[in-house]
Structure 1
Amino acid sequence: MADDSQRNFRSVYYEKVGFRGVEEKKSLEILLKDDRLDIEKLCTFSQRFPLPSMYRILVWKVLLGIIPPHHESHSLVMKYRKEQYWDIHHALRVIRFINDSTPQVDVFLRIHQLESGKLPRNLAFPLVSCHFNTFKYSILFNFKL
């Protein structure tokens, strides 16, 4: 009980009732305060507990390697990623693989195909969806288009 006296009453109550979310959020905030995010600890945390929605995008971007674990370089890397997106988007428009009516999911798929060297030479080639890459690119380019 000595440990409980130093903790918040609400945290102790939630834990006794069966809700562990308050402590989980605090431990995630402690992990995210480090200058260099520990990817291994974040991975373990995300496997054990649900991620709060306010931190979900940041954690997934770090875990997927979209942004580096150093806080000070996040904005610069995202700026470069946005420029990269628009360059590839423009290239796909020039070679007429996408247009204004192309659904966003198909645009992400074409971007992945172009970057991985698997863009078909024929426009009539059917689109084969890959859910992981669509998810990855929708997180990667999480900004208003």
Structure 2
Amino acid sequence: MNTATPQAKALDLDELLHQHGLRNTPQRQLIYRIVSSSAQHLSAVHVQHQLETLMPGISLPTVYATLELFADLGIVRKMAMIDGVMLYDTGQQRPHAHMVCRNCGRIFDLDIPPVNSDDVTAAMNQGFRVDSGDLVLHGLCSDCRAKANS
């Protein structure tokens, strides 16, 4: 379980950006705070909507660029959905798989590794070097199943 305070997380973000020769701008701080404090996986559009009251005028391209930078640095994980939308979360401290309800679209964390060593070995045997991997299971959540059965 991650017990880091928001201040400690902000210091880690500042240090990581500095190590890569990047500044920790107010926009980056707010975007990180929104993604890291959310229990849900967020799209860039959702992040921008939350930013509108805190930082009016921040553009969607700025949000996308910041989230992509964070993904490149390993600060956030990104997950492509079937409809092409990219979602972001900070599940790095606890790698996990995901379950997506095909009816309501909600995403749930599944506390199993997204990739296991057998998967990596199989890929290596094919000459592929694995950098990361995601496991996304699609189906019906318990709420939607209950509604369908009633």
Give the TM bin, normalised by the shorter chain: 0.3 to 0.5
Using the size of structure 2 for normalisation, the TM-score is 0.33
- Determine which structure has the larger strand proportion and give its number: 2
- Determine which structure has the larger helix proportion and give its number: 1
Using the size of structure 1 for normalisation, the TM-score is 0.34
